[in-house]
């Protein structure tokens, strides 16, 4: 089974310094070795794991995920969940590492 069974991402902007995408769905526990991630929730509510903390979110929530920080998909209380995802610098294809 894939760690990203329900994640859907549509990249909207790519520059030399960052990428911006719209994301929906869920994701397994992982880190990004070289990219910081910023998630701005635009639809839905629930919580996600960020490091060892469970973070609640709702529309308007800004989640900052520093590179190397384990994070895991959502526990949805009102969905679907949609976010704007910004990766700085642009995420390389091999930047995602799954963790237990």
Angle at 95 between CA 92 and CA 100, to 5 degrees: 160
CATH numeric code, 8-92: 2.60.120.10
pLDDT 10s digits, 1-22: 455 667 899 999 999 999 999 9
Report the pLDDT value the prediction gives residue 1, as an integer from 0 to 100.
43
Q: Is the pTM of this model over 0.85?
A: yes
What's the mean pLDDT in 56-71? Answer: 97
pLDDT 10s digits, 10-53: 999 999 999 999 999 888 899 999 999 999 999 999 999 999 99
What's the mean pLDDT in 60-67? Answer: 98
């Amino acid at each position: 089974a894939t760690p990203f069974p329900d994640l859907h991402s549509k990249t909207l902007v790519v520059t030399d310094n960052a990428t911006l995408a719209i994301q929906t769905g869920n994701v397994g526990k992982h880190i990004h070795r070289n990219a910081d991630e910023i998630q701005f929730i635009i639809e839905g509510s629930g919580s996600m794991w960020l490091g060892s903390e469970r973070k609640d979110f709702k529309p308007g929530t800004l989640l900052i995920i520093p590179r190397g920080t384990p994070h895991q998909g959502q526990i949805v209380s009102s969905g679907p969940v949609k976010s704007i995802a910004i990766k700085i610098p642009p995420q390389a294809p091999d930047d995602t590492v799954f963790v237990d």
